[in-house]
Amino acid sequence: MADLAAHGVHPPGFAHQFEDMEQQRDAGSLGMWVFLVTEIMFFGGLFASYIIYRALDLRAFETGSRLLDIRFGAANTAVLIGSSLTMALAIRSAQVGKPKSQIIFYLIMTMILGALFLGLKFTFEWRHDYVEHLVPGFGFAYKGPFAHGVELFFCFYFFMTGLHALHMIVGLGILTVLTIMASRGRFTEQYYAPLEISGLYWHFVDIVWIFLFPLLYLIGGRYVLGGN
Amino acid sequence: MSEHIVPVRIYIGVFLALMALTALTTAVAFIDLGRWNTVAALAIAVTKMFLVVLFFMHLKYSSGLTQLVLLAGFFWLAIMVTLTLSDELTRWWTQTSGSWSALLPFLLRLF
């Protein structure tokens, strides 16, 4: 494969500083993984402070957790897992050289599921929280036990889900670019690095939600139905 | 190495497993297991993370260098969380209760 690097021979998408396509692919995904490690630390700061404040005020955090609607959390988890599947299938379509229409189909499916997640989050869940006066700084008026700690819980809830939603919005922008690239026939069996690398990002955002779901919705003593 | 093409049935299988685990973790949240509710929810979340990382993100088929990078990431996260907690959970320690068993009540407040 070394002749690929010979002067003047440039298959589509191949950058001539690499020995061959495989080295280019490995370098690209390694770079993305390093970025994702910085993202782990970025979200990790929030997770660490959540752990501490939850330990300091466990009853309040459990009460706050029970004020969330678990149906939205579970439904959105399923939606995101579905979008991860279609993302993985989009990459696979490129890898095995399927026509670009199939890549575009899976990318658009991923975008629809991502948009569905955000739609559920913003128009139903956050709106519901607003109507119930559970948004700190915007008419927070919860009067039950541990009101102060519950307000802190909702600060965490909105920061964590908000930061996650921001990542989703960025992801939708990336998917739009990928769809345009795919429609121009930019991806081949040899060159699909933008799909692979964006896929890593999309799956990472899915994993963040996989942890937010139990931390925010599940570990609040749900079995205490109807009472605090 | 990143050339490895994962069969569609593995992707579908991983997807179905993730859906089943989501249903399971939601159901378990309504059963009173005491402290074990938190442990169960997080154990299932970690299992789901492994499924996504290994198959959807192809880490099972990636180079050892890439796998090491992720391992280092989690190691650094563990340092951050552990050192922060070692401060926060021991702030009320006094001279007289300086034995390790004094840490237990604080650790139990975590879940």
Predicted confidence (pLDDT) per residue in A196-205, tens digit = 999 999 999 9
Euclidean distance between CA atoms A50 and A52, whole angstroms:
5
Q: What is the pTM of this model?
A: 0.90
**B102 pLDDT above the threshold of 90:** no
- Which residue has 């492994």 as its token pair? B50
Euclidean distance between CA atoms A55 and A70, whole angstroms:
22
**B10 pLDDT above the threshold of 60:** yes
pLDDT of A68: 92
- Cα separations (Å) of A172 from A52, A72, A124, B103? 33, 20, 20, 45
Q: At what angle do helices A21-56 and B64-88 cross, to 10 degrees?
A: 20
CA neighbours within 13 Å on the CB side: how many for A80? 33
Q: Do B88 and A55 touch (CB under 8 A)?
A: yes
Of A41, A56, A204, Cβ closest to residue B80: A41
Higher model confidence: residue B13 or residue B110? Answer: B13
ipTM: 0.90
Euclidean distance between CA atoms A134 and A213, whole angstroms:
18
Q: Are the beta carbons of A76 and A121 closer than 8 angstroms?
A: yes
Query: Per residue in A42-98, pLDDT tens?
Result: 999 999 999 999 988 889 999 999 999 999 999 999 999 999 999 999 999 999 999
Which of A29, A32, A65, A102 best probes binding to B when mutated, by most B CB atoms within 10 angstroms?
A: A29
Q: Do A211 and B63 touch (CB under 8 A)?
A: no
**A228 pLDDT above the threshold of 50:** no
- Can you tell me whether residue A203 is helix, strand or coil? helix
Q: Do B57 and A54 touch (CB under 8 A)?
A: no
- What CATH superfamily is the domain A18-218? Cytochrome c oxidase, subunit III, four-helix bundle (1.20.120.80)
Which of A79, A84, A190, A201 best probes binding to B when mutated, by most B CB atoms within 10 angstroms?
A: A84
pLDDT of B93: 67
Query: Per residue in A182-199, pLDDT tens?
Result: 999 999 998 999 999 999
Please list every residue in chain B whose beta carbon sits closer than 8 Å to the beta carbon of residue A37: 69-70, 72-73, 76
Q: Are the beta carbons of A158 and A136 closer than 8 angstroms?
A: yes
Euclidean distance between CA atoms A58 and A64, whole angstroms:
10
Euclidean distance between CA atoms A215 and B45, whole angstroms:
10
- Cα separations (Å) of A22 from A32, A57, A69, A169, B43? 15, 51, 46, 31, 35
pLDDT of A227: 44
Higher model confidence: residue B2 or residue B39? Answer: B39
pLDDT of A220: 84
pLDDT of B1: 43
**A158 pLDDT above the threshold of 70:** yes
Q: Are the beta carbons of A202 and A171 closer than 8 angstroms?
A: yes
Residue B54: Cβ-neighbour burial (10 angstroms; 0-12, 13-18, 19+): middle
pLDDT of A77: 97
pLDDT of A45: 95
Query: Per residue in A8-47, pLDDT tens?
Result: 567 778 888 898 888 898 899 999 999 999 999 999 999 9
If pLDDT is split at 50, 70 and 90, which confidence band does A7 have?
low
If pLDDT is split at 50, 70 and 90, which confidence band does A6 have?
low
If pLDDT is split at 50, 70 and 90, which confidence band does B11 have?
very high
Contacts of A112 (CB under 8 A, 6+ apart): none
Euclidean distance between CA atoms A178 and B91, whole angstroms:
51
Query: Per residue in B40-95, pLDDT tens?
Result: 999 999 999 999 999 999 999 998 999 999 999 999 999 999 999 888 877 776 65
Average pLDDT value for residue range A208-214: 97
Under 8 Å CB pairs connecting chains A and B tally to: 148
- Which residue has 């407040």 as its token pair? B109
Higher model confidence: residue A10 or residue B4? Answer: B4
